[in-house]
Amino acid sequence: MEHHEHKEHHQDHADHSSGHHDHHAQMIEDFKKRFYINTVLSIPVLAFSEMIQGFLGFSFSFPGMGNVAAGLATFIFIYGGWPFLKGLKKELSEGGPGMMTLIAIAITVAWAYSTAVVFGLEGKVFYWELVTLIDIMLLGHWLEMRSIMGASKALEKLAELMPSEAHKVDGDNIHDVKISELKKGDIILIKSGEKVPADGKIVEGSSDLNESALTGESKPVEKSKGDEVIGGAINGDGTIKVEVKSSGEDSYLQKVIKLVEEAQQTKSKTQNLANTAAGWLAYIAIGVGVVTFIAWAFFSSQGMDFALERMVTVMIITCPHALGLAVPLVVAISTALSAKNGLLIRNRTAFENSRKISVIVFDKTGTLTEGNFGVNRVVSLEDEPEGDLLSKAAAIEQSSEHPIAKGIVKEAKSRELKFPSISDFGSTKGKGVSAKIDGSTYQIVSPGYLEEEEIDLPEEANSNKAETVVFILKESQLIGFIALADQIRKESKSAIETLKEKGIKVLMATGDNEQTAKAVADELKLDGYYSQVLPHEKSELIEKLQSEDEFVAMTGDGVNDAPALAKADIGIAVGSGTDVAAETADIILTESSPSDIANLILFGRATYKKMVQNLIWATGYNVVAIPLAAGVLFYQGIMINPAVGAGLMSLSTIVCAANAQLLRLKFK
C-alpha cells in the first residue's frame, strides 16, 4: 500500500506542477484578453465624459448617454475589475492589503459613487477614472506576468529521476514490475547504463555508479558486493543484483523531494516593493477618506453630498495609474536585459533582494569546476614520448564509456594525435582496461591494481592536487601515468575576487572528498569549504547561516543542490546542470559562468534603484494631491480639480515609463 501511495505521490507532484504551469499561462492570456476588450469599451466611456470632452475641446450628448456610460462602465468594472476584486479577498485573507486591495478599493468607490450620481445623487461622475485605472492595471499585470517565467516544476523533475520499472529476480526468472510494487528484501537486476530503481545493497556483481546528480561526488563510485546503492543513480558498465532496502516514502530520493517541498513552502513570502507601497497607500486611502468625510459631514456646513464627493475623490486619487506600470515596466526591461546577459529570472522578489547577499555558497562540481575530467599531466617513465603514451592510452580508452576514459580521449583529440590500431580489447571491472598494440599488451589500470601486483607507485604520481591517476603498463612493466582532475572553470577565480571585493563571504559545499575540496578551495582562495556534504546537510548549512543573520545565496547544478537552492534566500542554478536544479532556483545562469553572479548582483542593485525611483514618481504627487483632494485649502479657494488630477497622473505615468527605459543605458 505504501509503495502504491508513493507512485501516486509522484504523479500528484507531476500533475500539480504541470497544472500550475498551465494555470500561469492561462492567467497571462486572461489578463491580455480582459485588457483588449476593456480598452475597446473604454473609448466610448471616455468620449461621453464631460471632463474629457472639456479637456479635448469638443462637446456632444444624446438622450440616455449617462445610462449607456453606466452600462459600459458597469461591464468594465465587473469583467475587467474581477481579477482585482478576487485579489482583494485573497490579500486580506493572507494577512494584509497590497496592490490588489488598493486597486479594488479605488475602482469600487469610483463605480459605486458614479453610478449613484447617474441615478440622482449630487456629485461628479468618475467613470473615466474607473475605466482608465482598470485598463492600465490590467496592462501592468499582463506585462509583469509575461516577463517572468512560470511556476516551479522541481518536484516533477525530481520524480522523473526514478525509472518507472524494475527487473525483479524470482529464482531463475526475471520479470519487469512497477517500482511501486517493490518491497523490502526483493532482489532486482540492474543492467549496464540503467537507473537504480530503489535504495539497496549489492548482493552480486560490481560496477561504477554515477551518483553525481544525487550526492555531488564528481567521479563515479566503484561499488561491489555488500555496498549500498541509491535509487536514481546511473549504473556504469557492469551488471549488478541488488537487495531492496527502502523504496517509496523511505527512499533517499523521496527524502530529497520532501526537503525541496518543505523549503519551497516555508521560503519567505517577502512582499515585493510595489505591493508594499500599495499596501501603505490602501491604508492611507481608507484612513484619509474616512477622516475627510467625517470632517466635512459633521464639522462644516457644506452638506453630505460635498463630504461624500471629497471622500470619493481622495480614495480614487490615492491609487495612482502610474503605480500599475512603475514596477512592471522596470521588470519587463530588466528581465529582457538579464536574459540577453545570461540571467533568467524566475522569482522577481529574489532578484530585487540580490543586493542584500552577504554569503554565497557554491556547489563545486559543474559550478566552480567544469564537471568533467580533464587531463592535468601525462608523465612518461621510460623513453616513450608523452604524446605517444597519450595516443596509445586514448586508442585503448576509445572503447570505454567511463568519464576518465572520455577525458583521455578528449585530450588526445584536442592535441590532434593519431591513434594506433588496437586488438584484443578487454576490461576488468574496477581494475582497468587492456589491448594489444603492435603485438604488445598495454594495460591502463588503477592504483589499486599496482598495489595488488606489488608494483611501486612512482613518487611523481603523488600530488597535493585533487587528481585521479591511471597507470599505463606495457607487458606488465610500468611505463607512465596520466593524472586527471575536474578542471576549475577559467572564470571562477575572477568571479570570486569580485564577490569578495563587494564584501560577500564565499563558501563551498560539495559532495566530494576532503582532499579534492581543499585543493579547489585553496586554489580559489575561498573563505571556507565543506566536503562530503549530503543534500540535507547542504540545506542545514544554509539554515545555519540564515540563523546567523546572513542573507544567503546558493549556487548549484545538481539534484543534490535542489533542497539548498529552495531553502536559500536566493537560489541560483547554472543552466548546464540538471533540470531539477534549474526548476528549484530563483535565478538561472544560462552560460554556467560564475562571473555572471557578480553581474547578477549589479543588475539587482540597478533594477531595485529604478523601481524605487519609479515608485517615488508614481506616488510622490500624492503628497500634494491627497491634502488638496481632501479640501484642506478649500476656504482659501484652492481645491484639486479632477482634470488637474488626471494631468498629474498622466505626467507621472510618462515619467515612470521614460525612467524605466534608462535602465537600458546601464547595461549596453
Provide the annotated active-site residues: 363
Q: How many CB atoms lie within 10 A of CB 477?
A: 10
Q: Extract the runs of DSSP E, i.e. beta strands, from 196-301.
A: 199-204, 207-210, 221-223, 228-229, 234-235, 240-246
- CA nearest neighbour of 541 among 580, 511, 496, 516: 511
Give the C-alpha distances (Å, rounded to integers) separating 323 from 72, 141, 279: 25, 11, 12
| CB-neighbour burial class of residue 634 (10 A; exposed 0-12, middle 13-18, buried 19+) | middle
Cα–Cα distance measured from residue 226 to residue 541, given in angstroms and rounded to the nearest whole number:
31
> For the residues of 326-355, what is the DSSP string, one character each?
HHHHHHHHHHHHHHHTTEEES-HHHHHHGG
- The four Cα atoms 189, 193, 194, 195 give a dihedral, to 10 degrees, of 120
Identify whether the C-beta of residue 597 lies closer than 8 Å to the C-beta of residue 555.
yes
Residues 6+ apart with CB under 8 A from 64: none
Cα–Cα distance measured from residue 370 to residue 490, given in angstroms and rounded to the nearest whole number:
9
Query: Residue 633 is placed in which grid cell?
Result: 485649502
Cα–Cα distance measured from residue 181 to residue 225, given in angstroms and rounded to the nearest whole number:
24
Angle between helices 535-547 and 252-266 (to 10 degrees): 30
- Quote the DSSP letter at residue 80: I
Query: Residue 134 is placed in which grid cell?
Result: 482598470
Cα–Cα distance measured from residue 437 to residue 393, given in angstroms and rounded to the nearest whole number:
10
Per-residue three-class SS string for 526-583: CCEEECCCCHHHHHHHHHHHHHCCCCEEEEECCHHHHHHHHHCCEEEEECCCCHHHHH
SS3 260: helix
Q: Tell me, what amino acid is at 18?
A: S
Identify whether the C-beta of residue 415 lies closer than 8 Å to the C-beta of residue 426.
no
CA 269, chain centre distance (Å): 15
Cα–Cα distance measured from residue 35 to residue 30, given in angstroms and rounded to the nearest whole number:
9
SS3 301: coil
Identify whether the C-beta of residue 506 lies closer than 8 Å to the C-beta of residue 550.
no
Residues 6+ apart with CB under 8 A from 131: 38, 41, 42, 45, 46, 73, 76, 80
574 forms bridges with which residues in the sheet?
A: 589
Identify whether the C-beta of residue 575 lies closer than 8 Å to the C-beta of residue 346.
no
Residues 6+ apart with CB under 8 A from 585: 346, 565, 571, 572, 573
- The four Cα atoms 389, 392, 396, 401 give a dihedral, to 10 degrees, of 60
Phi, psi angles (nearest 5°) of residue 63: -60, 130
Identify whether the C-beta of residue 17 lies closer than 8 Å to the C-beta of residue 117.
no
374 forms bridges with which residues in the sheet?
A: 485
